[in-house]
A = this chain, B = another copy of it.
Amino acid sequence: MSTGEKLIVATQELLWERGYVGTSPKAIQQRAGAGQGSMYHHFAGKAGLAAAAVRRSAEQLRATAEGDLRSSGSALERVRAYLTRERSVLRGCRIGGLAQDPDIVADPELRRPLEETFGWLRDQLTEVLEKGRRSGELTAELDARATAATIVAVVQGGYVLARSAADAAPFHQAVDGLLRLLEGARAQTSPPGLRPGTETLVKSLPGRLGR
């Protein structure tokens, strides 16, 4: 691995662990096994190196989410795959965690990858939900765009609750609560073309929020 690469990887790790404000060039150099001169030769200071590291982390997050959301199955199964993927909950989100950092949100070049990542993620989820709605899996009243924002927010907020409690449980509880609510958004009427009797409709109700 080149020195430039090592510096980016070290910066990614430190940004995740300590944020931008809490990460010093010295710490980056030590972790990367590179000297001062190397760092300033390859990058334009701390901000330039951080920008490269944040863009890299954003790419990786996208690749991972893409795997979950493009899995086979119904819309709800894809959303469930995304929500229940294994995560290092107590470490938090590599991208979302940076949103709290004042120097990240103040610098457009550092903030843009965050905005783009969450925008892309909401777009992907919106598409999955909208397809589920149009196929008759989800209720016609579902607002796919708003629901997508809710899903992403639950994950990001779950991290906050887990780190506050030093325990992953609140994260999983929040996800569980969301999944139950989403199951309540399954269409009660059948997809276009079928005509269920009233009895079918009524019988399906008690299980609306069950697993």
Contact = CB atoms under 8 A, between A and B. Distances in A.
Interface of A: 17-19, 21-22, 92-93, 95-97, 99-103, 105, 111, 114-115, 117-119, 122, 139-143, 145-161, 163-166, 170-171, 173-178, 180-182, 184-185, 188-189, 198, 201-202, 205-210
A86 B96 CA distance: 23
A158 B140 CA distance: 25
A111 to B, nearest CB: 7
10 contacts: A18-B21, A96-B157, A141-B180, A149-B170, A149-B174, A152-B161, A153-B161, A153-B174, A154-B157, A198-B198
Contact of A161 (B156, B174, B201): B156
B21 A165 contact: no
Nearest to A164: B114
B101 A19 contact: yes
Contacts of A93: 160
Given A19-B19, A22-B21, A154-B153, A177 B146 contact: yes
